[in-house]
Amino acid sequence: MRNTVKNLLVWLVLALVLMAAFNAITEKKESKQQIEYSQFIQQVNKGEIASVNIEGSVINGFQVKGLRNDKSAFTTNAPTPLETNFVSNLLAKNIRVNVIPEEKPGFLTNLFFSLLPVLLLIGVWFYFMRSMQGGGGGKGGAFSFGKSRARLLDKEANKITFADVAGCDEAKEEVQEIVDYLRAPQRYQTLGGRVPRGILMCGSPGTGKTLLAKAIAGEAQVPFFSISGSDFVEMFVGVGASRVRDMFEQAKKNAPCIIFIDEIDAVGRQRGAGLGGGNDEREQTLNQLLVEMDGFESNTTVIVIAATNRPDVLDPALMRPGRFDRQVVVPLPDIRGREQILKVHANKVPLDQSVDLPVLARGTPGFSGADLANLVNEAALFAGRRNKTKVDMSDFEDAKDKIYMGPERRSMVMHEDEKKATAYHESGHAVVAETLDYTDPVHKVTIMPRGRALGLTWQLPERDRISMYEDQMLNQISILFGGRIAEQLFIGRVSTGASNDFERATQIAREMVTRYGMSKKMGPVVYGENENEVFLGRSVTQSKNISEKTMQEVDAEVRRILDEQYEVAYKILDENRDKMHTMAKALIEWETIDRDQVLEIMAGKQPSPPKDYSDNVVKEAETEQPVAEASASENAQVPADTADAGSKAPEPEQKSEQ
């Protein structure tokens, strides 16, 4: 408020000065008629002039008009010097003459008015320079480029606490020590312990690193400076190092305090990573940060907390004890963590009794905290779109399908041949997945286009998976081949829809041979190329570590694995032709089948129609509506667990992995 009033006063004074200068330079003139000098002489001779004021060569006067002797003002310019007997002629015509001496401005006045525009420009420039420097020069230099952009977070404005952070209990315990130390340092100092100089929070995007930092600010009753790593980078050389110095100077004045640097990899990347010299602006910023954290003058009362999702590219000097003493990993939440996160976000929306958060947690493997927050928000949007007062389970299922697989493309028109081919393609994936032992259960099969895919077979794991085993990877290759084999056996033609299946199957087989040592012929050896990037400072050239002969053997082993699993999938589908026909028929009729219907088909039974499909049939019989209208109603309001499916990538199968 004070700065606003100050700016208004400055602009008001500036406006008054400009108005005064304008009035002084261009004085206000009365509205007068400009006449020619010859006309003036004629009017004098006719006796039509009443009075004149002579000021140098300018003659101002009044002329008489009409019988009522109305007077009007005029002005004219006379030649200089005036004619001889000019004034005598005026007096002879009974004209009142007033001579005004011409005043010439002094030297100082002329100098002031000539320099006034320059002075105004200098004043405006000086004002803006002072404003951009923060009001007083200082160490920041021109435009305050060297000033720190760290924002001091007020504890009254921040309402986030540890109660708002869920799914990362171990990370909360690690940072809880910092809060306890800042509140009661004597408890640790009596035992000889010291607070960590820095804490580096690592984790995948969306796991809650920044949220955890805000919770620290809400819990610790100390000043909290927040800044992004990109705020140090500027187009001018030396600005980043100057901002680091200024930031720590401000922190020392408010010690004990916490500095939070988000995305520190923007300035903390490994030095010497470029192909040029070491005099780099980013490296200067990093050097200054290293010195401030643990240099000749150690800041024992300033704690630095940083967050990044790329700890592998950080400089080793930044990672050593004494700078970042502790690395806190914020991982993707497990099933229990996902349930806790869903409870935190679900408290903000009205939930129906049908919502089962543990089931949602089991059905969202690999979701981060941000993904789960987006899931709850999308479910609330679905409920609002359907004019509901509470969010029910079908809304969450629709939201989950949309996040996993993309929005539905109900307006897309598929030819009957393409629809039939897609149905057999997806049935091939599903039948192979349900026949093999070490596979995840098939959650949903659909031929409803979603995103860029025409259909999808969706498998959900029963538990969080930490690692993959050889038999699981082999079965996954067989499942990927199921779509193409189904097209060969039951359509008699092959399409381009299996291109992504082949790509993923080949990648899995090659990694089994070259990375995981899952080939008896090649042995437990890593075969591959050095793929380190030049600008990460790891390697300048890419070198091959295998010979041409070995590469041929690797290719042959990859081909052997693919051929064997192709035969496995072919045998399964050839022996289960009846189940393939039943599943493809159900997909063509209902477009989507869920887990219960898949189990009925695999048991040799006829699948029961979806619940919403039966309801529509009953309503159709009661109201005697045409079948086309019932189908339109079905497509408009079918819940996700029976009618939604698709893919967010151009692939006919989506398999969730953890």
Confirm if 22 and 68 have CB atoms less than 8 A apart: no
Q: What is residue 650's predicted lDDT score, i.e. its pLDDT?
A: 33
Query: Do 380 and 311 fall into the same domain?
Result: no
366 is in an annotated binding site: no
* Mean pLDDT over the full length of the chain: 76
- Radius of gyration over every alpha carbon of the chain, rounded to an integer in angstroms: 42
On whether residue 143 sits in a domain, the answer given is no
Same domain? For 586 and 629 the reply is yes
What pLDDT score was predicted for residue 184?
A: 77
Q: Is 406 annotated as a binding residue?
A: no
Residue range 39-54: mean pLDDT, rounded: 83
* Residue 639 banded pLDDT, cuts 50, 70, 90: very low
Tokens 């259960």 sit on residue = 441
Task: Just list the catalytic residues.
Answer: 426
How many residues does this entry show for the chain? 658
The DSSP result for 491-552, as a single string, is IS---GGGHHHHHHHHHHHHHHHHTS---TTT-S----B----GGGTS-SS--B-S-HHHHH
Site of tokens 């000098």:
37
Q: 209 labelled as ligand-binding?
A: yes
What is the model's pLDDT at position 561?
Answer: 93
Q: Is 300 annotated as a binding residue?
A: no
Say if residue 22's pLDDT is above 70.
Answer: no
Give dist(CA 271, CA 586) in Å, integer.
60
Task: Check whether residue 391 and residue 420 sit in a common domain.
Answer: no
Place 296 in a pLDDT band, splitting at 50, 70 and 90: low
272 & 378 share domain: no
Same domain assignment for residues 271 and 314: yes
121 inside domain = no
**Enclosing domain of residue 504:** 416-655
The pLDDT score that the predictor gives to residue 444 is: 82
Task: Report the number of distinct structural domains present in the chain.
Answer: 3
pLDDT band at 144 (very low <50, low <70, confident <90, very high): low
Q: How far is CA 77 from CA 33, 41, 54, 395, in A?
A: 12, 12, 10, 89
pLDDT digits (tens, 9 = 90+) for 158-167: 677 788 788 7
Q: Which of 415, 386, 382, 423 is nearest to 399 (CA)?
A: 382
pLDDT single digits (tens) 583-633: 888 888 888 888 888 888 888 888 787 765 444 433 333 333 333 322 222
Q: Is 425 annotated as a binding residue?
A: yes
How many whole angstroms separate alpha carbon 263 and alpha carbon 205?
A: 11
Give yes or no: residues 279 and 423 share one domain: no
pLDDT of residue 627: 30
Structure-model confidence comparison of residues 289 and 464, the more confident one:
289
Q: Is residue 609 part of a domain?
A: yes
CATH code of residue 280: 3.40.50.300
**Residue 349 burial by CB count (10 A; 0-12/13-18/19+): exposed, middle or buried?**
middle
C-alpha span between 407 and 177 (Å, rounded): 44
Same domain, 342 and 260: no
Considering the domain architecture, whether residues 297 and 427 belong to the same structural domain is answered as: no
CATH number of the domain to which 387 belongs: 1.10.8.60
Please report, to the nearest 10 degrees, the dihedral formed by the alpha carbons of residues 268, 274, 277, 283 taken in order: -10
Residue 389 shares a structural domain with residue 422: no
Q: pLDDT value at position 563?
A: 92
Reported as a pLDDT band with limits 50, 70 and 90, residue 103 is low
Domain contains 446: yes
User: 361 and 317 in one domain?
Assistant: no
Same domain, yes or no: 495 and 555? yes
pLDDT tens, 55-79? 777 888 877 766 556 778 888 888 7
What is the mean predicted confidence (pLDDT) over 175-188? 79
How many angstroms separate the CA atoms of 19 and 298, rounded? 57
Is this model's pTM higher than 0.75 or not? no
With bands split at pLDDT 50, 70 and 90, how would you rate the model's confidence at 303? confident
Confidence of residue 652 (pLDDT cuts 50, 70, 90): very low
Domain boundary among 329, 362, 379: 329
Residue % of the chain over a pLDDT of 90? 6
Report pLDDT digits (tens) over 442-452: 888 888 777 67
pLDDT band (50, 70, 90) for residue 220 = confident
Q: Residue 637 pLDDT > 70, yes or no?
A: no
User: 203: annotated binding-site residue?
Assistant: yes
Q: Does the annotation flag 206 for ligand binding?
A: yes
Cβ distance 595 to 460 under 8 Å?
Answer: no
Distance (Å) of CA 488 to CA 37, 417, 553, 648, 650: 109, 14, 30, 26, 21
Percent of the chain with pLDDT over 70: 76
More confident of the two residues 485 and 4:
485
